[in-house]
Amino acid sequence: MAAQPRIKLALVGTGAELVQAVDAFNRPSAVEIVAVVDAQDRAAGARLAERLRIAPAKNPADAFKAKPNIVLLVGGDEREYERLLAIKPPGIEVMGAYGARLLLSLLSRPF
């Protein structure tokens, strides 16, 4: 059986939710974090991205430059979700804040 290709994930958000998302996905798995977008370059999420050798970005549209499979919007700004959907390239999924919360909730539970 052939190995599944890694899922390239871009995270967009700020604050504790962004840090939680980076922590949840930064483990050996089929997911590779390729972008972390935090509007505040000295915020905890941006600093964590730098420690993981992921170049942080400030503009949410920059998430698409890393050619992710999925952009996960961590945070509750529905307008940002709509803006990302309007400019997303074909073949890239964008998951909004509610989906992100559900996913992170499931990942935080023991299996």
In the chain, the domains with their CATH numbers are: 7-71+82-108 (3.40.50.720)
The rounded distance, in Å, linking the Cα atoms of 66 and 33 is: 10
Of residues 42 and 48, more confidently modeled: 48
Task: Give all strands of the β-sheet with 7-13 in edge-to-edge order.
Answer: 56-57, 31-37, 7-13, 70-74, 93-95
Gap between the Cα atoms of 63 and 77, Å rounded: 16
In this predicted model, what pLDDT tens digit does every residue of 57-108 receive, in sequence order? 889 999 999 999 999 998 767 899 999 999 999 999 999 988 988 888 888 7
Confirm whether pTM is higher than 0.85: yes
